[in-house]
Amino acid sequence: MRWPWWVQVAAVYVAARMVSACIFMAAALHQGVNPWFPAKPDYWHFINIWDARWYGDVIDNGYPTELPVDSAGNVQENAWAFYPVFPLLGRALSAATGLVPPVSLTLIAMLAGFAASFVVYSLFRHRTEHGAALWGVAFFATFPVSAILQVPYAESLNILLLASALLLVLRRHYLLAIPVVVLMALSRPTGVPFAAMAGILFLYRLWEAWQGTGRRADPGRHHGKTHSPRELWALAALTAASGISALLWPAIAWATTGDIAAYTKTETVWRGHDLVPFKPWFDTGVLLFGPVLGLAAPFVFAAVFALFLLSRPVAQLGTELRLWCACYMGYLIVFLHPQTSTFRMLLPLFPLALGAVLVSRSKAYRGAVLTMFILLQIVWVVWLWAWAELPGGGDYPP
């Protein structure tokens, strides 16, 4: 604890990534025949599978100008499902250094995850003292799907941009957050929930300012907290920019292919049916729990999550971070098709890591959570990252 805070954060994050690397290498020793390489691959081959191949394809071939279709006219899997910032950075690094795309993408992912740990710490320090913030970074770095932060996926870059945007929002640097949000919205599909968060936050801060100045009731209550007119205008600009950013990638896909639904058609290829809000959650509920409990399961899940956000430890995260978590989970409930990739998509809820820390100051509790996260990380890598063909062909995606 005598080390500078940034050394402590770096040590925690690097140690977590070394643990994940050991898990990957151990799982690779048991990897059998698969679609990408011979059995028992080395570490670097093992982490360059699944969507990593799609990002490499974007670097090599770009995005198609026509959506690929089968003989029946159904859109097939294609690169439009993968947002451009991550592969464009990989292409730039490869061009500048001569590195092959898989190495460039891996380096970017690892450096972005490393940088994200410092931003996450700074974000948490706005809400708590150093020790709890450092534990929050440890929970974030060892979360069961945190191994994804060191493979050639866009998650680590997206978390870096998302955490930076949230930090700027907490500091009320709304205009500075706009370019960060644009890049974030073009790295992973987090633009829609961020726009929703910004819009609701603007309305709340507007109401708060009106309560403090318009009614002139208890003028000292909001001292140092209410937003000035200038800050409200800046937050309104961030809201508008976030909404536009959320639509940028679908618009680019439309402009390039000539199909207004190019992006949504591509995204729904992987789920096997058209996009119908909310319905996949009920379908999955019925599949898992039966026709009666299955229909109630999504409502129970939403209620439990809402109670969690209202709990005392999570309340300490503050308005902005709780609002982000609520909007992102709401986005998943509306649009997501729940399946094994859902675990990976929970990573943007990383502010809840601090809420988990604040449940108790007990080192035994925090150590137990950390241990459980690492054990579940082994489960995630062995179950979902490693390839094991199912009886009907294919495998569950990570």
CA angle 16, 19, 25 (to 5 degrees): 140
Taking 90 as the threshold, does the pLDDT of residue 72 lie above it?
no
CA-CA distance, 296 to 286, in Å (whole number)?
9
Instruction: Say whether pLDDT at 95 is over 80.
Output: yes
pLDDT surpassing 60 at residue 219: no
Q: What is the residue-averaged pLDDT of the chain?
A: 93
Cβ atoms of 187 and 85 within 8 Å: the answer is: yes
For the chain, which residues make up each domain, given as ranges? 5-385
The pLDDT-based confidence of 223 (bands split at 50, 70, 90) is very low
pLDDT tens digits, residue range 146-185?
Answer: 999 999 999 999 999 999 999 999 999 999 999 999 999 9
What was the pLDDT predicted at 216? Answer: 41
CA distance 225 to 48: 47
Q: Which residue has the higher pLDDT, 114 or 222?
A: 114
Q: What is the pLDDT of residue 218?
A: 34
Per-residue pLDDT, 293 = 92
Helices 101-125 and 5-29: angle between axes, nearest 10 degrees: 140
Residue 217, pLDDT score: 36
Q: How many secondary structure helices (H) and strands (E) does the chain include?
A: 18, 0
Q: φ and ψ at 265, to 5 degrees?
A: -65, -40
pLDDT digits (tens, 9 = 90+) for 288-309: 999 999 999 999 999 999 999 9
Cβ–Cβ < 8 Å for 266, 252:
no
Whether the predicted pLDDT of 221 surpasses 60: no
Count CA atoms closer than 13 A to 114's CA, side-chain side: 14
Q: How many residues does the chain have?
A: 398
pLDDT of residue 214: 43
In what helix (H) or strand (E) does residue 365 lie, and over which residues does it extend? helix 363-380
Report the share of the chain in percent with pLDDT over 70: 97
What's residue 71's pLDDT?
A: 85
User: Residue 49: which residues within 8 A CB-CB, separation 6 or more?
Assistant: 34, 36, 37, 385, 387
Encode burial over 221-232: b for 16+ CB neighbours within 10 A, e otherwise.
eeeeebbeeebb
State pLDDT tens for residues 26-53.
999 999 999 998 999 999 999 999 999 9
Tell me the backbone φ, ψ of residue 393, rounded to 5 degrees: 95, 155
pLDDT grade for 213, boundaries at 50, 70 and 90: low
Q: Find the range with the poorest average confidence among 195-204, 235-244, 330-339, 373-382.
A: 330-339
Model confidence at 224: pLDDT above 90: no
**Structure token pair of residue 61:** 């071939």
